[in-house]
Amino acid sequence: MHNFIPHLILTRVMAFFANSKNKVIKDFLINAFISLYKPKLEECLVSDIKDFPTYNSFFIRELKKDARPIENSELTIVSPVDGTIMDHGIVENNLLIQAKRHRYPVSELLGEKSERVEVTKQYFITIYLAPTDYHRIHCPYGGLISSTSHIGKSLFSVNKKAQANIPYLYIRNERAVMKIESSLVSYSLVSVGASIVGSIVPFWSDPGSKTRKDYVNEWNIGPLEAKKHALKGQELAHFRMGSTVILIIEDSSKLDLNSLTTNKTVKFGSKLINLKNL
């Protein structure tokens, strides 16, 4: 059934309504969302729905500064998002696991042209963002942004049912890839698009009316040199609607793996996994 649903057309239609400044449409969508998902508006920088010009501006609402304390230990990688850990593990033979049953190549996920020579084993963590979750993506560990790109074309749903039933889901969907390097750890952060996701917006994008193509171009160009150093907890991007992020850590031998469990709910800024004190 997923192959017969016109995901791109549906996404464009929903984006039209989500960005509408018509008060009736905007208030109806926001009130319906609040009634269905009951988000914690007291955590938000703006909590009065009258102050949001569109449904989309409500959906990507910012949090108050103290709503998510950032774990600042040098040995801690923090969660980049609010969500649920769906899968995690060592990348074996260039393959990651999707929903415990489908395997797919990490090189294709990252848009690499050829398979890497495996010197050290990577570790992956897949985090699903439900509609009620906070939908901004933050830096899990400070470092230099070495590259950014936007790849993929499809927009299938990424909910639990889709993950279980659509092979190669994450490498079929649109996604933005950001690689960050530091002296202690290097990693890639993959933001996966999905049905109804209007765009994945990078932090260096200037505000204003932009198309999906504009955002794709910005991901492929990357930030200016002055903005390439990312601090832990800094906002890196946001989803217009919901989706999934996949963290690929380059050297699993540097990680203390004992604190990570599948189906664990995580909050942005909290400890995701520790580096070993080598």
Residues designated as active site: 82, 138, 243
CA distance 97 to 102: 6
CA distance 74 to 183: 11
- Residue the block writes with tokens 């703006």: 46
Burial of residue 232 (number of CB atoms within 10 Å: 0-12, 13-18, 19+)? buried
Whether residue 125 contacts residue 271, with contact meaning beta carbons closer than 8 Å, is answered with: no
Burial of residue 36 (number of CB atoms within 10 Å: 0-12, 13-18, 19+)? exposed
Per-residue burial over 168-188, b if 16 or more Cβ lie within 10 Å, else e, is: ebbbbbbbbbbbbeeeebbbb
